[in-house]
Amino acid sequence: MSSRRHFFDNRAAKWDESRTVDQAHLERLLLPFAYELGRAREVLDVGTGTGVLVSILVGLAPEARVVGLDLSSEMLAQARFKHPTVSLVQGDVHALPFEPCSFDFSLCCACFPHFEDKSKALEGIYRTLRPGGWLLILHTASRATINAVHTRAGGPVARDLLPSTKETVALLAQAGFEEIGVEEEGDRYLAWGRKNEATEARG
């Protein structure tokens, strides 16, 4: 079993107690994408964990089927308890178990730093997006804060760092994304990109 999976499995039962999530803050971060989410038919929450983002997504994307994917079966067990009707899939972002062009919107909330091979992860997310689909990477704290938290946590996540703006833009572009943006402020880290609308359905 991967050491990161073990790390998150071990923390799953207490995750919601230990991670104080400001749901209103998360909603604010998603608001600029409310139009796209509102039109989505399939939404993928990568690294869904205990499903922190799921209830917000269900509200913002009422027409969509929301799918949560996570490496950790224990995190998913917590999510399943809270969201029994949502589709939750155990899997690795580096080998996404979905057909090309399956989703209109994919999100990575507080999980991008943990992806060992970010190029491969982004390529997979790109492939499973429909033409015109969006990816949003989001954190409710600055890059410096996130990186410090992981360094302090130590173990398998000690070196799970958010790349600089320049590196993130390059990674997104390399995976094929367009309309790329990165926003770094005191209480947020957002990065987004869109799959070209004219891309052939082969992904």
Ligand X SMILES: C[S@@+](CC[C@H](N)C(=O)[O-])C[C@H]1O[C@@H](n2cnc3c(N)ncnc32)[C@H](O)[C@@H]1O
User: Which residues contact ligand X by CB under 6 A?
Assistant: 4, 8, 19, 47-49, 52-53, 69-72, 75, 92-94, 109-111, 114-115
H helix intervals, 12-156: 15-18, 23-30, 34-39, 54-60, 73-82, 118-128, 143-153
Q: Which CB atom, from 58 or from 131, has the smaller least distance to ligand X? A: 58
Residue 25 neighbours by CB distance under 10 Å: 13
Q: Residue 83: what residue type?
A: H
Q: How far is the CB of 200 from ligand X (least distance, A)?
A: 27
Q: Which CB atom, from 69 or from 88, has the smaller least distance to ligand X? A: 69
Do 194 and 179 contact (CB within 8 A), yes or no? yes
Q: Which CB atom, from 88 or from 93, has the smaller least distance to ligand X? A: 93
Q: How far is the CB of 169 from ligand X (least distance, A)?
A: 22
| CA–CA distance, 56 with 116 (Å, rounded to integer) | 27
Q: SS3 for 43? A: strand
Q: Report the candidate in 122, 116, 174, 163 with the shortest Cα–Cα distance to residue 139.
A: 163
* Residue nearest ligand X, Cβ-based: 49
Q: Which CB atom, from 110 or from 162, has the smaller least distance to ligand X? A: 110
Q: How far is the CB of 191 from ligand X (least distance, A)?
A: 15
Q: Which CB atom, from 48 or from 128, has the smaller least distance to ligand X? A: 48
H helix intervals, the chain: 3-11, 15-18, 23-30, 34-39, 54-60, 73-82, 118-128, 143-153, 165-175
